[in-house]
């Protein structure tokens, strides 16, 4: 770091003043040396005044730039100069402005995501509610001609109401995850046994949609430290997603493998798959492809977002891979028990 010029000049000024005082004290005659000292003192004082003026100008410029940044112009950056101490201040301010810029960008993205989420939620709540109201009105007006038709209306109302309840439950669960109001209670678990337990629950559904189960789960214990309920929910959400969108491929794959520090569970299907440009979006809230907007497929669009949040809370990571029409897999890891 360069030596501060102002300090050097102040030291020189002090030395000259001491020399002049000593000369007066010793009754030294006025001469050329004394004149040189006075001239040097004058020049140094002039330089210090000039430096002070330049410094104040730079400070005013910095204040103006900061006011622009505060007003929202986060592209503003302060220019450094040859004063080391002042440069440190400038660099710190520029770093703060850069952080403010990132926060502003994130805020804009969050606001857009919030609006999109509210729009999708409104759509997904209004649609089943409209159907429920329509069928209730039909029952009230005795539009159904037979007992069988009335029972069909009641079954549809029950199905729509259950789907609406599931959607609201998932919205609240995700909101609690965001607010960090879902405290985990980790324990030592057998990941292989948890996986088998989750898969068994889906066997009737797999038979119903004519999907073959292709499972490869380690026989030995796979000990991990995680919360049981959240681990089951992660697996259930991913399997449910595979059954909904991959049943055309008629195969559901489950593969639990061991790695150096983690266990990895991959759940795959041979359905239509996911385009490459959408792979990074599938874990976004309420994100669904146009195909998944089809009422035949259903889904809240929150299952994978919840799975991602729970995986990360349990110290793992999650990702998706897809070769459309060939194989689409969702994989996540959980750290091994230490």
Q: Kind and range of the H or E element at 250?
A: none
Residue 106 has pLDDT above 80, yes or no: no
Query: Are the beta carbons of 307 and 282 closer than 8 angstroms?
Result: no
pLDDT-based confidence at 31, cuts 50/70/90?
A: low
pLDDT tens-digit readout, 55-86 = 777 777 777 777 777 776 767 776 666 666 66
Residue 336 has pLDDT above 90, yes or no: yes
Domains and their CATH numbers in the chain = 5-101 (no CATH), 114-178 (1.10.287.130), 187-335 (3.30.565.10)
Residue 44 has pLDDT above 60, yes or no: yes
**Average pLDDT over every residue of 17-33:** 67
pTM of the model: 0.61
pLDDT tens-digit readout, 201-227 = 999 999 999 999 999 999 999 999 999
Quickly list H helices, the chain: 5-25, 32-70, 84-140, 147-178, 191-201, 203-208, 228-246, 303-313
Residue 318 pLDDT? 95
Greatest mean pLDDT among 31-40, 217-226, 290-299 lies in 217-226
* Token pair for 319: 């990702």
Write the DSSP symbol of residue 281: G
Residue 296 pLDDT? 42
């Amino acid at each position: 770091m360069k030596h501060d010029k102002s300090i050097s000049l102040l030291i020189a000024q002090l030395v000259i003043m001491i020399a002049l005082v000593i000369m007066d004290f010793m009754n030294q005659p006025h001469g050329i040396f004394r004149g040189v000292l006075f001239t040097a003192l004058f020049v140094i004082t002039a330089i210090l005044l000039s430096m002070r003026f330049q410094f104040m100008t730079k400070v005013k410029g910095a204040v103006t730039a900061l006011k622009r940044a505060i007003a929202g112009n986060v592209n503003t950056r302060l220019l450094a100069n040859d004063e080391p101490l002042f440069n440190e201040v400038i660099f710190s301010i520029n770093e703060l402005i850069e952080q403010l810029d990132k926060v502003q960008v994130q805020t804009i993205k969050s606001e857009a995501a919030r609006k999109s989420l509210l729009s999708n939620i409104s759509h997904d709540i209004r649609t089943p509610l409209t159907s429920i109201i329509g069928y209730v009105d039909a029952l009230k007006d005795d539009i159904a001609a037979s007992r069988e038709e009335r029972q069909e209306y009641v079954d549809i109302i029950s199905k729509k109401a259950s789907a609406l309840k599931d959607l609201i439950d998932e919205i609240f669960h995700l909101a609690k995850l965001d607010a960090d109001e879902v405290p985990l209670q980790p324990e030592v678990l057998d990941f292989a046994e948890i996986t088998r337990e989750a898969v068994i629950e889906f066997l009737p559904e797999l038979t119903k949609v004519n999907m073959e189960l292709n499972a490869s789960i380690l026989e030995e214990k796979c000990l991990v430290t995680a919360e049981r309920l959240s681990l089951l929910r992660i697996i259930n959400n991913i399997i449910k997603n595979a059954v909904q969108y991959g049943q055309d491929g008629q195969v559901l794959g489950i593969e639990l493998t061991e790695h150096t520090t983690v266990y990895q569970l991959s759940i795959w299907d041979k359905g239509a798959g996911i385009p490459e440009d959408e792979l990074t979006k599938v874990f976004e809230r309420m994100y669904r492809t146009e195909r998944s907007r089809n009422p035949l497929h259903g889904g809240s669009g929150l299952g994978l977002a919840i799975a991602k949040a729970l995986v990360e809370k349990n110290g793992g990571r999650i990702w998706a891979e897809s070769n459309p029409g060939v194989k689409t897999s969702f994989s996540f890891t959980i750290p091994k028990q230490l």
